[in-house]
Structure 1
């Protein structure tokens, strides 16, 4: 159960705009991804070697899969939020529906912040434990959000979040697996020899 907290919720104008709802998570997600990569001072060749040196869990897809999948999921997530909040807060709805839509808007905003924090935690700050906790929290929050919006506001919005929840579950597995297999230390590899930098 959650409550509507205006100070922790994106403005209703964003939810009311279909392009704004879709483009906001895509733009923010792309910016975080770009800035995290940009902060890495190593060469592209070293980055590729480092990726190959890190132990990866089974079923990890190629790195090229992640940008298009996340872009699509961000877009669908934004559309779901638009449907739920815009349709759910209509004055023609019951008080319970409007309240559920607004509570969901707060949860959506919080989960978007947690989503954007994962990449800096995992790659930028070398905190795979915190990143995995973050990913697991995202699964729980978005499962509840899909249920809340799907049963109390707009069934389509709830179903639109299902692929996102599924991918978050997979991302949690990858986050945990990569951290565990590398002893929870993802610090850069020195000289391609598989030795970690001393801290």
Structure 2
């Protein structure tokens, strides 16, 4: 069981205002997405063997935007409900959830660089499995503080489960090695610049 760890938790100001709670994961996700060079990532994705059912690359941006916004709003709801409660247990759960939320957000943000930038499908798959488990536990914890906050994380958990399938599937189908494909995608990206 995790506890509240202030040094591993976003500042309370992030959780106290709905706009800030929603914009922080959106901005961080967008920043990581663009820093990973989306054109090169899309080219690499096209060169990798994909498992059945993989969506077109243009679906990922809108889906992740929705998920970041809903996780941010869940954070605001759970934090507010917990901090305004007279129930000490709910206060503790809200704080514990804030630490879990920060950890899951960090794991979320490192997946894309691990997978696309560094070409490390094993590490990216371990990351997303841990991320999915922590997020499921977070939904359970925050669901005890504010039921809506817990339910707001359900689409995220569903997408993470699907993304885990994709991550492991791509890794497996490409023998857990992106080395040659990564260089081809980088060369193609430079030609277009």
Question: Does the 8 A contact of 1:50 with 1:188 survive in 2?
Answer: no
State the distance in 2 between where 1:34 and 1:191 align.
20
State the distance in 2 between where 1:47 and 1:22 align.
26
- Residue 50 of structure 1 and its aligned partner are, at CA, apart by 4.2
Indicate the residue corresponding to 1:16 in structure 2. 16
Question: Does the 8 A contact of 1:135 with 1:168 survive in 2?
Answer: yes
Check if 1:69 corresponds to 2:70: no
- Correspondence for 2:152 among 156, 160, 179: 160
Choose 126-135 or 182-191, whichever is displaced more: 182-191
- Correspondence for 2:52 among 38, 58, 66: 58
- Residue 48 of structure 1 and its aligned partner are, at CA, apart by 5.8
- Structure 1 segment 44-193 matched on structure 2, within 5 A: 50-90=44-84, 92-150=85-143, 152-189=144-181
Unmatched tracts of structure 1, length 5 or more:
39-43, 193-199
Structure 1 residues 50, 179: closer, same or farther in 2, change over 3 A?
Answer: same
Question: Does the 8 A contact of 2:41 with 2:116 survive in 1?
Answer: no
Structure 1 residues 191, 120: closer, same or farther in 2, change over 3 A?
Answer: closer
State the distance in 2 between where 1:48 and 1:82 align.
33
State the distance in 2 between where 1:141 and 1:93 align.
27
The TM-score normalised by the length of structure 2 is 0.90
| Secondary structure of the corresponding residue to residue 96 of structure 1 | helix
State the distance in 2 between where 1:124 and 1:47 align.
8
- Residue 87 of structure 1 and its aligned partner are, at CA, apart by 1.7
User: Is the radius of gyration larger for structure 1 or structure 2?
Assistant: 1
Q: Give the count of matched residue pairs.
A: 184
Higher helix share: 2
State the distance in 2 between where 1:48 and 1:29 align.
16
The TM-score normalised by the length of structure 1 is 0.88
| Secondary structure of the corresponding residue to residue 2 of structure 1 | coil
State the distance in 1 between where 2:9 and 2:163 align.
25
Question: RMSD across aligned C-alpha pairs, in angstroms?
Answer: 1.7
